[in-house]
Structure 1
């Protein structure tokens, strides 16, 4: 049985029952709290499902990551942030995209983003971390000149095979970040990690297919250069000519030359040398 009724309608009905003294005040508060909690969980589930669809859409990582980030940002209430991946040396973030939330930021996007400060904790701990008074934190000295103001920040790692390979960064939520926000961001970080792994697997498959096609092309090219003799060849028992498909008798050298890549250079064997040139000892040095 499905009850199709909005949260607002439920709250109105509860208030009506309260006026008629059908339920106690403490029960009203508990019911309202439960309805509010249900609404929050429904919103969280909807955002997670939307993020999962972004992964299943098999888009490029940048597109999937952007969709996942937006769902996460909107759910938690942050207004700015970014998604970044760890570079090959493991020393810097490489930003996939950055959302300033409309705030001015004068930092050159090409500047390196070393793994330090609060984001280093997310990388090394493999878990979401946050700070709600970032401008007065110990990490403020790491911010480059011209960076936008960060009221609060949160970092959730992208973990593959037990290692953090990137981050979802969130900032400037109107209220404080909390543990539930960290739990939600962790879930979205897992989705982003799956999207990244899928993208890498797809790149590997594309590269493997490209290599396979190249090998096939090379083999076909090599085969096109090869002529092969096969089957039963009629050969004269005396003169050793070969009869071709059209019934003509051809010198064996000509036939093989025509049907293969072999080339001939003439010489004389020892038996024939003794038979036809008995006065010349061609093989005297052997």
Structure 2
């Protein structure tokens, strides 16, 4: 987990320092931000954060507003909300906005680390799945392609390459011979 980067957002400096120090001692890369606005500036920098841990109630931009903005442009970044407020309406709003977990203040740091490890394992698995979703499966024998468009990955219909290209490109295909194959065929014909 030492390669994981965390954006820690809280308007209380003692929490930023103590929790940030604890996370760094546990081999996480931590970037502190003292407001939602500062956190957004960090998110729009070149740094990719795996997880944002944010306070819920802060002056200016709240943790809920920050969560909503993160979901619009950084959908793979996880978000944990750290709060001392157990308001059920805020919890429901955060769930609708896509929060990954809640941690109540005062924070049990061991429980936080456990939740983070579970989240990072799930995040890593989803990232691996996304890599495979970008692979176009082609049968090594018949050269047909599995078209998973609009379906659960791995459940698509196997179609001929020409049909797949025609469907995806919206154009008709013609068969011809490239110059290299033409030369190869000509040489083979002369040798016979």
- TM-score normalised over the length of structure 2: 0.30
- TM-score normalised over the length of structure 1: 0.22
